[in-house]
């Protein structure tokens, strides 16, 4: 998935014997790593101090709000994909900005969202015409998501908003056909979100396309939002180039720059602890069935797809390959093939890394799989339970509550 990541997702567990640290933990559980949140947060804080830009937490990647009081030391606010996330951001990080981008707003929700969000980003000229004036009259800032039509990722069209026929963002053609003088007068900012786990060279490329297409309108704006997908807290991320891009846009156009990463804010800041339920061989393949599921607990493993890091696997000299799969009926519910020193056995604990992002907020109970509890590993090594789940959580979504 990601190249050249030299800081291990398990760096904070070195010297701590995680198998004993997590010994009493019910499996499966997500464990959020407070020390890593602070590590990531300091990097993001420094970018804001160096440049004067604002970084927002994209809540769709991480919305464990018990950590918002910690995160608000490092971010300027939250970014939401719609009503519920906007409300969560307002409730749980009340002193910070709330920004919202939504593919389309609903009439019956709009008045309520107005009470939560400060910035509204619209996905079409139509939606802008329908809602921008109302938002402005309520004292809000309004923007349009643009599509710079500049793909910097190949082979991942599910995560590429610049793919042909994309529904996300207004192309320059639609912008110029649709935005009249009145609309342009209302417009406070533009927003683009085209990156996914990318470095700042791809941002620089994208910015060139944004400027070529929309630069002449940018002088009249108050802000430009660079979206998410900036892998800022990764070891090989070129922060100097990011800061150059931010300063360039701020000084050329006199605008404030926002970034709204999700992943980068919680990169490597969580684990998924699971146990082996069974092991067997099918032909030449060694198999272990775990009490977690890729499809239910780490859906990006199937969707993206990627191989999540696993503590103490694939080390040098480890040649015993085992396929790690789930209890569910889905043939493809396999986390991946990993190399171990030797066979696993029932009851063995496995610890997956980088499990804070797109996990706790993306789980489901397909096959009646239990939801993992959500725990917090404090800096001092103590472990606190933030949320725990049971049968009721599975049942109540499916029918009449008793
Ligand atoms: C997904 C998304 C983000 C966050 O993306 P990451 O890849 O997690 O950094 C930010 N803004 C918008 C509009 C998004 O759709």
Spatial neighbors of 97 by CB under 8 A, at least 6 apart, are: 54, 56, 76, 77, 78, 118, 119
- What residues form DSSP beta bridges with 13? none
With a 6 A CB cut-off, is 333 part of the ligand 1 pocket? no
Largest CA distance in the chain: 70
Position 156 scores a pLDDT of 73
Question: Which residue in 216, 217, 89 sits closest to 144, CA to CA?
Answer: 217
With a 6 A CB cut-off, is 142 part of the ligand 1 pocket? no
CB 323 within 8 A of CB 286: yes
**Cβ atoms < 10 Å from Cβ of 219:** 10
Question: Which residue in 389, 363, 199, 386 sits closest to 295, CA to CA?
Answer: 363
Kindly state the DSSP code that residue 59 receives in the 8-state scheme: T
Kindly state the DSSP code that residue 263 receives in the 8-state scheme: G
Position 154 scores a pLDDT of 74
Position 109 scores a pLDDT of 97
Position 163 scores a pLDDT of 87
Which tokens is 277 given?
């339920």
With a 6 A CB cut-off, is 229 part of the ligand 1 pocket? yes
Please give the number of the atom of ligand 1 that sits closest to the Cα of 145.
Answer: 13
Residue nearest (by alpha carbon) to ligand 1 atom 8: 262
Which tokens is 231 given?
């892998």
Ligand 1 pocket test, pick from 227, 258, 359 with the greatest ligand atom count within 8 Å of Cβ, gives 227
Please give the number of the atom of ligand 1 that sits closest to the Cα of 358.
Answer: 8
Position 5 scores a pLDDT of 54
With a 6 A CB cut-off, is 234 part of the ligand 1 pocket? no
> Ligand 1: distance of its center to the CA of 227 in Å?
6
With a 6 A CB cut-off, is 228 part of the ligand 1 pocket? yes
With a 6 A CB cut-off, is 193 part of the ligand 1 pocket? yes
Residue nearest (by alpha carbon) to ligand 1 atom 10: 228
pLDDT < 50: residue spans in the chain: 1-4
> Ligand 1: distance of its center to the CA of 25 in Å?
31
Q: pTM for the whole thing?
A: 0.96
Question: Which residue in 401, 334, 394 sits closest to 370, CA to CA?
Answer: 394
Cα of 43 vs its chain's centroid, Å: 17
Question: Which residue in 363, 309, 301, 310 sits closest to 335, CA to CA?
Answer: 301
Cα three-residue angle 24-63-395, rounded to 5 degrees: 70
Helices (H), 72-199: 83-92, 107-116, 125-137, 172-178, 181-186
* SS3 of residue 310 by DSSP: strand
Cα Rg of the chain, angstroms: 22
With a 6 A CB cut-off, is 376 part of the ligand 1 pocket? no
Q: What is the DSSP string of 345-377?
A: -TT-EEEEES-STTSTTT---GGGPPPPEEEEE
Ligand 1 pocket test, pick from 158, 233, 262, 265 with the greatest ligand atom count within 8 Å of Cβ, gives 262
> Ligand 1: distance of its center to the CA of 194 in Å?
9
Q: Output the CA torsion 19→308→365→197 (10° steps).
A: 130
């Amino acid at each position: 998935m990601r190249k050249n990541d030299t800081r291990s997702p398990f760096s904070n567990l070195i010297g701590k014997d995680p198998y004993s640290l997590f010994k009493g933990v019910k499996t499966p559980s997500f464990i959020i790593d407070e020390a890593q949140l602070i590590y990531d947060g300091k990097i993001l804080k420094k970018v804001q101090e160096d440049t004067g830009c604002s970084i927002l937490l994209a809540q769709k990647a991480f919305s464990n709000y018990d950590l918002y009081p910690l995160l608000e030391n490092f971010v300027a606010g939250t970014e939401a994909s719609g009503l519920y996330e906007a409300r969560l951001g307002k409730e749980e990080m009340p002193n910070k900005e709330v920004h919202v981008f939504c593919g389309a707003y609903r009439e019956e929700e709009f008045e309520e969202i107005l009470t939560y969000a400060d910035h509204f980003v619209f996905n079409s000229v139509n939606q802008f015409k329908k809602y921008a004036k109302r938002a402005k009259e309520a004292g809000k800032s309004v923007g349009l998501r643009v599509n710079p039509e500049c793909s910097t990722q190949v082979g991942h069209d599910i995560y590429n908003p610049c793919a042909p026929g994309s529904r996300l963002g207004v192309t320059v053609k639609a912008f110029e056909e649709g935005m009249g003088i009145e609309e342009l007068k209302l417009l406070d900012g533009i927003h683009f979100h085209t990156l996914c786990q990318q470095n700042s060279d791809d941002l620089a490329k994208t910015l060139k396309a944004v400027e070529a297409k929309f630069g002449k309108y940018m002088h009249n704006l108050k802000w430009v939002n660079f979206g998410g997908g900036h892998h800022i807290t990764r070891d090989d991320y070129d922060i100097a180039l990011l800061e150059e891009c931010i300063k360039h846009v701020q000084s050329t156009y006199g605008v404030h720059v926002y970034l709204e990463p999700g992943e980068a804010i919680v990169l490597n800041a969580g684990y998924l602890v699971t146990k082996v339920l069974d092991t067997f061989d099918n032909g030449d393949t060694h198999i272990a069935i775990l009490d977690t599921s890729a499809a239910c607990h780490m859906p990006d493993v199937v969707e993206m797809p990627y191989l999540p890091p696993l503590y103490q696997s694939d080390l040098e000299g480890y040649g015993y390959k085992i396929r790690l799969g789930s209890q569910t009926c889905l043939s493809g519910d396999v986390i991946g093939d990993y190399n171990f020193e030797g066979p696993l056995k029932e009851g063995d604990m496995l610890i997956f890394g980088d499990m804070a992002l797109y996990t706790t907020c993306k789980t489901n109970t397909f096959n009646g799989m239990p939801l993992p509890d959500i725990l917090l590993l404090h800096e001092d090594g103590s472990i606190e339970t933030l949320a725990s789940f049971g049968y009721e959580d599975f049942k109540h979504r499916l029918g009449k509550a008793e």
